[in-house]
Amino acid sequence: MSEQTREKIFQGVLTLAQQGVPMYEVKVQAIATAAGLGKGTLYEYFSSKEEILAATMLWCMDRELNALEKQLTACTCFEDQLESCQNFVVRMLLERGSSYRVIASALTIPRDAKELPDYARRPLEERKDRLTALVQQVIDTGRREGRVSLSSSDEYCHYVLKAALLSVFAAQSCEGEEGLNRSGAHVRAMICKALA
């Protein structure tokens, strides 16, 4: 299976999502056209539109997790990791967020079901575990530096970090890009205060 062809397919899906095409209505032919491929080529790689969308979502998640992991590895302290995580979330929201949300929402409603198809559920859980490990890496750095209280449970620390980073989503929803840019120092201060 050619990775280059798979990436063309995934980019085709993202192009359609960026154009506002509802993913639950998109046809395989439209994906093929956006990818610059024949419809038959898509069926050589995937058996259905839902499988294409699930694979695209997982590919996007892998790309984001790889980039976040690379950024965190380059950070030398807890504060840098917090800022890096926050900047990462902001860039993802501004540059790629709407496309990802469209694809994810399409996958949560395959036909009459209320959950992801079986072939996507386990790989999605693996990506969630990987994200959890990256968050734990930030917490562990904070503990080593004395910035995160040893008496705070990992579960509490994860909730604090995730809630604070999700507040970035709220700032973007309420105030647009301006809110995202303004919220940086406040979010980091909120995390440090809650974890101290």
10-residue stretch averages of pLDDT, the chain, 196 residues long? 90 89 87 96 92 88 90 93 87 73 56 59 84 94 96 95 80 69 79 93
Would you state the pLDDT for residue 111?
Answer: 46
Predicted local confidence at residue 127, as pLDDT = 86
Query: Which pLDDT score, from 0 to 100, does residue 11 have?
Result: 92
pLDDT on residue 36: 96
Per-residue pLDDT, 87? 83
Sign, Cα dihedral of 23, 24, 29, 32? positive
Amino acid at 54: A
CA distances from 96 to 42, 64, 102, 163, 164 (A): 23, 10, 11, 21, 20
Backbone angles phi, psi at 112, to 5 degrees: -100, 0
CA proximity to 9, closest of 53, 48, 50 = 53
Q: What is the pLDDT of residue 57?
A: 84
DSSP type of residue 20:
T
List all residues 6 or more positions away from 64 whose beta carbon is below 8 Å from its beta carbon. 92, 96
The backbone region for 124, taken as left when phi is positive above 0, alpha when psi lies in -120 to 50, beta otherwise, is: alpha
The pLDDT assigned to 181 comes to 66
- 96-131 burial by CB neighbour count: b if 16+ within 10 A, else e? beebbebbbebbeebeeeeebeeebeebbeebeeeb
Residue 54 has a pLDDT of 86
Tell me, what's the pLDDT at 82? Answer: 92
Read off the tokens for 86. Answer: 């926050």
